[in-house]
Every structure is written in C-alpha cells, then in structure tokens.
C-alpha cells in the first residue's frame, strides 16, 4: 500500500530556496550549495588538482640573468704581468634552461664582457688594453640509463594521477557522507510530520470516544470505569502529541543545520513520499559493472600509487649514464657592443662531448630502501584486496536487508489496513452499543501503533536506499 505524506508549511525559504515545495533532489542541491563542509571539500579537491599540476615544476623553463663588475689588482694576474696595475672587467649574461619530459636538459646562454687594462706598454699586447669578449653556448644532457628518456617523469605522472584520484575521491566520499546524513534528516522530518499528524488524529478520535463514553455514563448506560478508561486514552494521546511535536522541532532543526539556515530564516516548504520505494542500486554511481564501496575503490588507487612509488625507488637507484654535449661560440672584439653583435660568430667555437657514469654500490642500505618500498606496495595491495572482499560482503548484506525490509513494509501495510478496518468496525459496534469501551480503546491503540510502525519502516527503507550513495561501479 502506498502512503503519501505531503507537507506544505507556510512561507518559502528566502532567496536561496524556491517558492515552490522542495523535493528531495532540490533539497540536496540546496545542501550542496550552502553547506560549508561540502564547500571546503570542493576546494580541497581543486587544491589536489593544483598540487598534481605543480608536480611538473621541474619542467618549467628557467631564466638566469646577471651583471658583474670585477676590479683585479692581483700582482700575479695575467694582465698584471703585462704592466697593468688594475684590470677591470664588466660582464652581462643571460641564459635559459629547461628540462623536458623526455629527461633531456637543454641550456641556452649568452655572455658579453668588456676588459679595461690601462697600462700595457708592450705593443704586441696593446690590443688587449681594452677589448670585448662574447660567447653564445648551448648545452644538452640526456640520461641513457637512469631516467631513460623520461622514465622517471612518466612514473611520477602515473603516481601523481593515482594519488590525486585517491585524494579527490576521499573528499568526494566525505561529501557523499554529508549528503547521506542530509537525506536521513529529510526522511526523518517527513516521518516526524506524519507522526504528528497521526498523534493529532489519534487524540481527536480518543476525545470522541471519551465524549461518547461520558454521554453513556450520564445516561446510565456505561460505568464510570469506562469513562476513566476513555480519559486515560486521551491523556496518553496528549502525551504522544507533545512528544511528536518535540520530535518535529528537532527534525526541523536538523534540516536547518544542513541547509545552514539562520534562526530568522523561514522554514522551507518540503514535500516527499515516504511510500515511494527506489531500487537499492538507484543511487550507485557509474554504469554497469561490479558494485563496490567507494572507500574500497580509493584503497585500490592508493595501492596503485604505492606500487608506482616502488618503481620510482628502483628507478632512482639505477646506475646513471649521462651523455652530454656543449657548443660555444667565441669572439674577441674592440668593445662590448661589437662583441655582442658578433655572438653568433662560429669560426672559433668550443665543443665538448662527454659520457659520465655514476653507480651506487649495492649495500644493505640501498637494498633496504628498495625493499621497504616494495613491501609497502605489497601491504597496500593486500589491504585493497581485503577491502574489496569486505565491500562485496557489505553490498550483498545491504541488498539482503533491503529485500527483508521490503517484506516487512508489505506486511506492515497489510497490518495497518487490517487494524484500521478493525478500529472502524469496533467503533461502529461501540456506537450501536454492541461492544465495550476497552475493545474500542484497544483497537484504536492497535491502529495507531500499526500506522506509526508502517511509517517508521518506510522511513528506514528510504534511509537504507540512501546508503547506495556510498557505492560505485567499476569495470571487472
């Protein structure tokens, strides 16, 4: 039996809430937009992306520029031996360097200097009393073993991507946790409204029973004990009404907290259907595939990052064989300006090709570092595998409990219908004087209890469906 409870309370939520009634989807959208904790998680996810991008800081081009002035009065300097009391040198340099993802380091630089060596008396060295000197060079380095053509960079990218996905997923999981709690508050509010409605209806019926019994006592048809029984029913219903009112206020405060409403803000219009069941997998993220807990999936991402970290450690301790080459132009001119113009002069270059080898011996320290990374990766993988086992078990248990809950709701709906029909029939008999007051009171209590039990079970069923937000599908 489908039981729909529609709650329309006065006034709409100012500015941020639509004037129309809010269903579950609109309510959760409002929570996502206003809840500070969710906003903080969104910012943290953005920060994780930024950190991932910042991991390429070593690939950013670098510029170096400088100017220097040298005054040399060293009596043993090369120009002092030519009779120069003080040699002056002014130098300007500019360079650019970049490391590429292939592991190639490239540096391009240029330098011009002007020398002032007043005091040279030997005519053969007179051209060196004042001259300019310029150089333009390029240097390349490429690893042929360790970080072979960017192997370390590719491993770092793979690790960062897995770690970033895990971090962002953890924040997303926490957001989903907040939304699950917010949805629970939504259904609890609808239950509280229905509870209040049921309590008020029960009180009204109890007062009718009391009024009818009072007339029968006054007419001498019933005993005073019947009247006391009716009055006790009214008192009990009044107590239930007070409790229902308190529960409603508590549930309204929970809604306000999730929507971050101020005390002066009007309470939003809310509508929902406690009796509308959803498939247990309706809130599971993703398409077809294996249903797993998001927490278990994040654990597998962490294990992947650990495995790549172990590969990075192995890469870092490999022997290093670096091929490097340099080419530099050289020109000597009358002054700095001319030397700058002649930077590309290639008739007297300096070239260099080198191959350098570096090897770290296989000591226990080196082995321990590599073993530690491998063991951490293995431990993380085992934890992830165990998490998936627990995830499968949790999902199967959730589906089993949901099927059982469906049966309980169906049974409770049948009981509610029967108890309601019984209560009406008993009241009819009571009005005809064919039954006693106790039977009427008992049937009324049973009907009210059946109605509340049905509402509670449907509320728990909706809350159970909300747990699907904590699951996702992955490809086998």
List, as one string, the DSSP characters of 215-243: HHHHTTSS-HHHHHHHHHHHHHHHHHHHH
Separation in Å, CA 174 to CA 171, 179, 286, 423: 5, 9, 18, 47
More confident residue, 206 or 136: 136
d(CA 318, CA 312): 10
Provide the 8-state DSSP code for 145: B
d(CA 35, CA 179): 10
Percent of the chain with pLDDT over 90: 60
Q: Categorize the per-residue pLDDT at 388 as very low, low, confident or very high, splitting at 50, 70 and 90.
A: very high
If you compute the radius of gyration of the chain from its CA atoms, what whole number of angstroms results? 42
CB of 234 within 8 A of CB of 203? yes
Burial category of 223 from C-beta neighbours within 10 Å (exposed 0-12, middle 13-18, buried 19 and up): middle
d(CA 38, CA 175): 6
d(CA 399, CA 382): 26
Question: Average pLDDT of 415-443?
Answer: 77
What is the tens place of the pLDDT at every residue in 104-119? 999 999 999 998 888 7
CB of 2 within 8 A of CB of 156? no
What is the Cβ-side half-sphere exposure of residue 390, based on CA atoms within 13 angstroms? 12
d(CA 29, CA 163): 28
Question: Average pLDDT of 87-110?
Answer: 93
CA-based nearest residue to 452, from 188, 192, 195: 195
Indicate if the pLDDT at residue 5 is higher than 50: no
pLDDT for residue 432: 67
**Two structure tokens written together for 93:** 């340099």
Indicate if the pLDDT at residue 11 is higher than 50: no
**Two structure tokens written together for 408:** 């309980």
Provide the 8-state DSSP code for 68: E
Percent of the chain with pLDDT over 70: 93
CA-based nearest residue to 450, from 416, 421, 410, 405: 416
CB of 343 within 8 A of CB of 110? yes
CB of 377 within 8 A of CB of 418? no
Collapsing DSSP to helix, strand or coil, 161 comes out as helix
pLDDT for residue 430: 67
Residue matched to tokens 């006054």? 218
d(CA 335, CA 134): 10
pLDDT for residue 1: 36
Collapsing DSSP to helix, strand or coil, 291 comes out as strand
Q: Categorize the per-residue pLDDT at 439 as very low, low, confident or very high, splitting at 50, 70 and 90.
A: confident
CA-based nearest residue to 274, from 452, 468, 18, 403: 452
CA-based nearest residue to 251, from 199, 202, 196: 196
What is the tens place of the pLDDT at every residue in 210-224? 887 788 778 777 677
């Amino acid at each position: 039996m489908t039981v729909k409870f529609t709650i329309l309370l006065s006034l709409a939520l100012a500015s941020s809430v639509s004037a129309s009634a809010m269903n579950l989807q609109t309510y959760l959208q409002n929570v996502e937009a206003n809840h500070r904790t969710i906003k903080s998680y969104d910012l943290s996810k953005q920060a994780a992306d930024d950190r991932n991008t910042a991991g390429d800081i070593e690939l950013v081009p670098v510029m170096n520029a400088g100017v220097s002035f040298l005054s040399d009065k060293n009596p043993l300097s090369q120009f002092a031996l030519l009779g120069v009391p003080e040699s002056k040198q002014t130098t300007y340099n500019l360079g650019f360097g970049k490391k590429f993802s292939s592991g190639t380091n490239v540096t391009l630089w240029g330098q011009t200097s002007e020398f002032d060596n007043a005091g040279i008396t030997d005519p053969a060295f007179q051209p060196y009393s004042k001259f300019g000197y310029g150089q333009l060079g390029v240097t390349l380095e490429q690893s042929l073993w360790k970080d072979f053509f960017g192997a370390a960079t590719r491993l770092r990218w793979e690790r960062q991507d897995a770690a970033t996905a895990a971090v962002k997923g953890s924040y997303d999981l926490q957001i989903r946790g907040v939304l699950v709690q917010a949805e629970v508050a939504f259904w609890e509010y609808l239950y509280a409204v229905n509870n209040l409605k049921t309590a008020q209806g029960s009180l009204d019926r109890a007062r009718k029973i009391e009024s009818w019994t009072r007339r029968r006592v006054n007419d001498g048809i019933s005993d005073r004990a019947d009247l006391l029984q009716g009055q006790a029913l009214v008192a009990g219903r009044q107590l239930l009404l007070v409790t229902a009112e308190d529960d409603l206020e508590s549930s309204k405060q929970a809604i306000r907290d999730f929507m971050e409403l101020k005390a002066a803000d009007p309470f939003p219009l809310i509508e929902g259907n406690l009796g509308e069941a959803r498939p247990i997998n309706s809130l599971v993220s993703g398409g077809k595939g294996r249903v797993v807990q998001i927490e278990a999936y994040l654990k597998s991402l962490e294990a992947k990052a650990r495995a790549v970290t172990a590969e990075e450690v192995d890469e870092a301790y490999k022997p290093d064989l670096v091929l490097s080459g340099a080419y530099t132009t050289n020109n000597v001119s009358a002054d700095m300006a001319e030397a700058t113009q002649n930077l590309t002069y290639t008739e007297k270059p300096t070239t260099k090709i080198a191959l350098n080898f570096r090897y770290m011996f296989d000591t226990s320290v080196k082995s321990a570092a590599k073993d530690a990374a491998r063991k951490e990766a293995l431990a993380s993988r085992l934890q992830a595998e165990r998490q998936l086992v627990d995830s499968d078990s949790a999902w199967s248990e959730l589906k089993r409990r949901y099927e059982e809950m469906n049966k309980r709701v169906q049974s409770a709906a049948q009981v509610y219908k029967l108890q309601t029909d019984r209560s009406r029939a008993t009241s009819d008999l009571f009005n005809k004087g064919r039954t006693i007051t106790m039977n009427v009171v008992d049937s009324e209590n049973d009907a009210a209890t059946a109605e509340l039990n049905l509402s509670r079970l449907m509320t728990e069923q909706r809350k159970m469906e909300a747990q699907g937000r904590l699951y996702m599908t992955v490809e086998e």
